Amino acid sequence: MESYEPKSGLVAVVGVVSAVLLVAVILLLQAIYYRAEQKENLAKAVMVPPEAQAVRAEQLGQLQGYRVVDPQQGIVAIPIDRAMELVLQEARAGRKP
């Protein structure tokens, strides 16, 4: 009489091969996704108009440089990093800015 029991060795091999193939497909799809995302980010970075770059450079200059805002009232602008340091020192000393 013939046995209708599944062959456990064959089932194990099919299961392992299927799992390996599934992992390979997932990794391939993830690599394709990340490559497409990288290309999209590069395209966005390249598409910045020169006018926007000039405006950004001017704004960074204002944030990082010293300048006189109002000479009559004696108002000056200092770099943002220095301003944050001064505010932190005042807060540690217990004074309000």
30-39: pLDDT as tens digits = 999 999 998 8
13-23: pLDDT as tens digits = 999 999 999 99
19 near 12, Cβ under 8 Å? no
Amino acid at 61: G
Mean pLDDT confidence for 55-76: 89
DSSP type of residue 90: H
Mean pLDDT confidence for 29-49: 85
The strand pairing partners of 68, in sequence order, are 76
Considering the entire predicted model, what is its pTM? 0.41
Residue 50 is predicted with a pLDDT of 78
- Per-residue pLDDT band at 44 (split at 50, 70, 90): confident
Of 46, 44, 77, the C-alpha closest to 59 is 77
Residue 39 is predicted with a pLDDT of 86
